[in-house]
Amino acid sequence: MRLSLRPRSGCLLLCLCVSVGTLLLQSLWVPGEEGQFIPAGRSPDEQGQRGSHGAQRGGPRGDRLSLRLEALSSQLQSLSQERDSPQIDTQHLHLLMQSLRQDQQGLVQSVEEQLKRISQKIDQLSLHHHHHRRHRHHQEEESPPGDGPGPGESCSVTLDPRYPACSEKVEFLRVRWQLDPCYAFYGVDGTTCSILTYLSQVEDFCPLRPGRNHSVLPWRQTERSYTEKAEVRATLSSLYEGVSSSRGPALGFIRSRVEQMSQEWIQAGLRMKQQSQNNTDSPQMKVLLYPGVLAGSAGQQFGSMVEKGGPLGELVQWADLSACLTILGHNLTLITSKDHLHSLIGAAPGRGSCPIQRPLPFDLIYTDYHGLAHLQGAMGLAFQHYQCRFRILDSFGTEPAFNVDSYARSHGYRTSWGSWGLQPLQYMTMFPHTPDNSLMGFAVKQEVRTENRKENMAVVYGKQEYMWQGKADYIQVLSSELEVHATVYQPPGGSALLPPAVTNHGLLAQDHFHLLLHRAKVFVGLGFPYEGPAPLEALSLGCVFLQPSLMPPHSPHTSPFYRGKPTTRKVSSQHPYAEHFVGKPYVWTVDTTNLTAVRQAIRDIKLTQVKPFTPREFTCAGMLERLQAYITHQNFCNASSPTWPPEGALRSHLGPLGQSCVSVCRWSGLVCEPALFHRLNNPKAFARLGLSCSVSEQEVNHLFPAYSPWGRRCGLQGEPLLFSCAGSDPQLRRLCPCRTYPPGQVALSPDGL
Ligand SMILES: *[C@@H]1O[C@H](CO)[C@@H](O)[C@H](O)[C@H]1NC(C)=O
Ligand SMILES: *[C@@H]1O[C@H](CO)[C@@H](O)[C@H](O)[C@H]1NC(C)=O
Ligand SMILES: *[C@@H]1O[C@H](CO)[C@@H](O)[C@H](O)[C@H]1NC(C)=O
Ligand SMILES: *[C@@H]1O[C@H](CO)[C@@H](O)[C@H](O)[C@H]1NC(C)=O
Ligand SMILES: *[C@@H]1O[C@H](CO)[C@@H](O)[C@H](O)[C@H]1NC(C)=O
């Protein structure tokens, strides 16, 4: 085992601390639900296997655990601060829960993670222990007792250099096979023979028994079974059939959103069909949609929040994604239960250490971080084989430096979320944060209204009381200029504590909220929630969006909300997309601590006329076009598939010191295109940009390719997964692959359409 463990006592102490913290957290939050957070995710065995073969994610180490402990303790701190406030009651806890949920990858998952780590840690400690004992055993007795050769077969472990892990693996299973029933399911009974059979016919760690070959591993599939071309559909009925068989408030929300927008989807689909002569150019894919966050107990709570007007951003995306894929003609399955997942992918009974029983029946799986963990905990080795087919809905994005486990660990980019080693473009975000990830986005409903009569009225964005704290002066200035309306949750029989000049409507259903926005002149951000869908809805209804700038910008270092997220982004306003991609006259970003500036902005806004506006990428047509392009061109399974966008799109730029490629390209009105980094990663590219290198070196560094004027050093990237638009260093000038994009569709290249 290649595990470097700290002294046992230290680890156990850490484990103990984390357990205590975890229990505390649980009892604080969901009384009476102990145990429900215990994951059926990746089992200890699985982790052991990976650790022992260094396949991907190395075994957990002491520093990893302490990092998590740190994160947990900060979470605990903020929770206990909340608890100390006097008005705490169940309602309050619910609201707290809601706000925590705002984060797609909420705390539930992080508690799950903690528990998983602890159990893995303990397992590995004991495994390590066993392992050493075993080794000593081995040296004493030449052959292990009790399992001589079976009839007609030799069951000794042969040393074959092509299978370096075989003997280690046999050893491992001999000790561990009973800890996951899946081994017995595949015929392992503890004998060397059965283990060797398993390791050569279900996994491929050992040489084949005579008469077998590895291409017949039951779960492996190299070719996809495309048969038909996808044809644009003019109905969403196949989606309704799929969704109506499942229940729950979250699915109810998804269904009703799709229904409300169905005409828009269908019209957009028909227009697309006309333009492309029925030809979508992509094969019909079998697609699985698995919002892991809705599976299990977390899902029930998430669901109940939907009914209370909780955060819906992710559900909006799931709804729009399923409508989009249906219109594009793909064969869709949407599920929200882990059991259902297991049966669809053919997981072996047990705890997920073994590969699935047959080839994966889906060409694409859209899931989230939770679902990714569920998949890994159910597919054994097959997880890696098929990971190129996964797409992760990841609202806030995952930068490359956080994605590669070994790099993240050695360079201080470890978080609870990253480290999966997928292609960065497999993570799909809600807004275009960093072009390292793909923009999934969503579609804003276009209201058809003839008349657009605006009253002198502001609607405040913030459904919960706590979001209003510390904003009294700002609201005061607002209400001196405009009639201020709010839609803040009011506990039954009570009322929300808001400044007296504010008219509170309580939580409104979507239609009523839209009616209110329709009358309003301004939609007003308070600084939180960050980066939600509502400001775009307001723009589509003809409002101006007024939002606070965040000075200094919020980042994972300064903001509890972004802490632990796999990004280094500096968030300069409540809604950076609105600030950078939309801007005036629609979006006004103001320092709200400067009341003069606020008053001035409001007066200017009152004099401004705007029409309803939606950037193309957030319309149904724009989303269809984008997803269609992704499905046709993004192929992470075949290294020799053509580059997309094509290389002709490349506009090379040399950045100034200390700038990321995200900003270098943006400065030129372009966007960074990570798929073209490989074109800049050679000495010729440096020369073309007028740089002469005295030293050229290759390094694993997410800022490379880059140039350092001190010593004229040219740095080339040694790990393609680390090509990163994000990231900067005051000592480095980055080489940036930029490209143009059509107005309002930053994800696509005009040449690549
Ligand atoms: C492996 O098995 C498959 C199917 O049984 C067969 O078509 C193929 O030729 C075999 N390959 C080798 C290298 O024996
Ligand atoms: C497109 O499909 C429709 C029916 O689905 C058919 O009537 C029409 O001829 C097709 N158009 C082209 C250009 O293939
Ligand atoms: C989707 O695929 C399943 C399984 O192959 C099949 O039974 C079903 O008919 C397909 N549905 C559509 C709408 O193509
Ligand atoms: C406040 O805003 C006004 C108007 O934009 C500006 O002139 C002034 O310098 C700002 N004051 C501070 C302290 O930033
Ligand atoms: C990979 O892509 C290349 C080029 O498009 C193609 O020729 C090849 O058949 C593909 N391989 C597989 C396994 O799909």
Structure confidence by residue, pLDDT tens digits, 12-22: 444 444 444 44
Residue, of 96 and 606, whose pLDDT is higher: 606
Residue 585 has pLDDT above 90, yes or no: yes
pLDDT at 129: 43
Ligand nearest to the CA of 603: 4
Determine if ligand 1 sits within 6 Å of the CB of residue 4: no
The model's confidence at residue 222, banded by pLDDT at 50, 70 and 90, is: low
Interval between CA 192 and ligand 5 midpoint (Å): 39
Q: What is the pTM of this model?
A: 0.79
Q: What is the DSSP string of 233-246?
A: -S--HHHHHHHHTS
The model's confidence at residue 331, banded by pLDDT at 50, 70 and 90, is: very high
Q: What percent of the chain has pLDDT over 90?
A: 55
Cα(391)–Cα(84) distance, integer angstroms: 41
Q: SS3 sequence, 28-85?
A: HHCCCCCCCCCCCCCCHHHHHHHHHHCCCCCCCCHHHHHHHHHHHHHHHHHHHHHHHC
Pocket test for ligand 3, best of 238, 243, 331 (most atoms within 8 A of CB): 331
Residue 116 has pLDDT above 90, yes or no: no
Ligand nearest to the CA of 213: 1
Please count the CA atoms within 13 angstroms of the CA of 202 that sit on its side-chain side.
23
The model's confidence at residue 213, banded by pLDDT at 50, 70 and 90, is: low
Residue 639 has pLDDT above 90, yes or no: no
pLDDT digits (tens, 9 = 90+) for 366-396: 999 999 999 999 999 999 999 999 999 998 8
Interval between CA 643 and ligand 5 midpoint (Å): 13
Pocket test for ligand 5, best of 226, 640, 643 (most atoms within 8 A of CB): 640
Which residue's alpha carbon is nearest to atom 6 within ligand 4? 597
Interval between CA 587 and ligand 4 midpoint (Å): 19
**Mean of the per-residue pLDDT values of the chain:** 80
Interval between CA 277 and ligand 2 midpoint (Å): 7
**Cα dist from 99 to 354, 415, 497, 506, whole Å:** 38, 20, 18, 17
Whether the CA torsion 245, 246, 247, 248 is positive or negative: it is: negative
The model's confidence at residue 564, banded by pLDDT at 50, 70 and 90, is: confident
pLDDT at 210: 75
Cα(161)–Cα(655) distance, integer angstroms: 47
Interval between CA 642 and ligand 5 midpoint (Å): 9
CA 576 to chain centre: 19
Determine if ligand 5 sits within 6 Å of the CB of residue 139: no
The model's confidence at residue 299, banded by pLDDT at 50, 70 and 90, is: low
**Do β-strands 571-573 and 544-554 pair in parallel, antiparallel, or remain unpaired?**
antiparallel
Cα(677)–Cα(675) distance, integer angstroms: 6
Residue 25 has pLDDT above 50, yes or no: no
pLDDT at 743: 92
Which residue's alpha carbon is nearest to atom 1 within ligand 2? 278
Ligand nearest to the CA of 270: 2
Interval between CA 633 and ligand 5 midpoint (Å): 13
Residue 127 has pLDDT above 60, yes or no: no
Cα(422)–Cα(456) distance, integer angstroms: 50
Determine if ligand 5 sits within 6 Å of the CB of residue 638: yes
CA 712 to chain centre: 38
Counting atoms of ligand 2 from 1, which one is nearest the CA of 273? Answer: 1
DSSP label at residue 208: P
The model's confidence at residue 117, banded by pLDDT at 50, 70 and 90, is: low
